[in-house]
Amino acid sequence: MSETENPAVVEALAKMFPSDDPLDSVNFDVTQYINAMFPNEQSLSNLDEVIIELTERIELHEGMIQKLTLAF
């Protein structure tokens, strides 16, 4: 959590939108995440698939953000 985030808001959002996704974690560590996805050189052969999956997730979240923004 960054120093600008309000802990009460972070807690409320976690209760409203529970998630097991490591990307949603307050303690998300990008290095640990990438090392888990690609533990060795051979695993890099899946890089294109991972990029496609992450791009789809980004687009999904952007669409959700846009809908929420337009709703308010």
Residue 64 CB neighbours (<10 A): 10
Average pLDDT score over residue span 46-64 = 93
Eight-class DSSP state of 32: H
Helix (H) or strand (E) segment spanning residue 67? helix 47-71
Distance CA 18, CA 57 (A): 17
Query: Which of 3-12, 13-22, 31-40 shows the lowest mean pLDDT across its residues?
Result: 3-12
> pTM (2 decimals)?
0.60
Which residues lie below 8 Å from residue 64, measured CB to CB, with a gap of 6+?
none
pLDDT at residue number 1: 54
pLDDT tens string 26-38? 788 999 999 999 9
Q: Does pLDDT of 2 surpass 70?
A: no
